Amino acid sequence: MASKPKSFRLRGTPTSQQREREYDRERDQRPGRQWYKTYRWQCERAEFLALPENQFCRRCEQAGLLNAGHLTMHGDMQSNPRRMHLVVDHIKRHHGNERLFWDWSNWQPLCPDHHDIVKQAEERAASPHR
Ligand SMILES: [Zn+2]
């Protein structure tokens, strides 16, 4: 089998796609990661996002902006088609706690921008040496 070409790190700020991949990779190492791959998660996530009260990013809403995921957190049109959707965020980190993971009262819809902010804060909290 041919060996994969060596990848190198780009300088500067990562693109949102790189950040997403980075996050997926990081998330894949967290306790509870297996639940994101379940049929149950796919179903419940879709059901949750279909509720009338979950049509807009919770944080944008608090700032007076109705964002169904099609806008950036500043209210501009989102240009990245991969980021035009709401994300189900765990308000309290579940840390592999099954009850917290599946508890809808611990879920909130966020736009990708706000989800990034939450993730970055979590990552900072998780690795204080960075
Ligand atoms: Zn938002």
Residues whose CB is less than 8 angstroms from the CB of residue 83 and which lie 6 or more positions away in sequence, other chains included? 16, 69, 112, 113
Task: Say how many Å lie between the CA of residue 68 and the centre of ligand 1.
Answer: 9
Model confidence band, residue 31 (pLDDT cutoffs 50, 70, 90): confident
**C-alpha to C-alpha distances, 99 to 8, 92, 93, nearest whole angstrom:** 40, 11, 11
For range 10-14, the mean pLDDT: 67
Model confidence band, residue 11 (pLDDT cutoffs 50, 70, 90): low
Task: Say how many Å lie between the CA of residue 129 and the centre of ligand 1.
Answer: 28
Model confidence band, residue 129 (pLDDT cutoffs 50, 70, 90): low
Residue 102 has a pLDDT of: 97
DSSP 49: H
Task: Say how many Å lie between the CA of residue 86 and the centre of ligand 1.
Answer: 9
Residue 69 has a pLDDT of: 94
Residue 28 has a pLDDT of: 65
pLDDT tens for each residue of 81-122: 889 999 999 999 899 999 999 999 999 999 999 999 988 888
Tokens representing residue 87 in the block? 């994300």
pLDDT tens for each residue of 36-78: 999 999 999 999 999 999 999 999 999 999 999 999 999 999 9
Task: Say how many Å lie between the CA of residue 9 and the centre of ligand 1.
Answer: 29
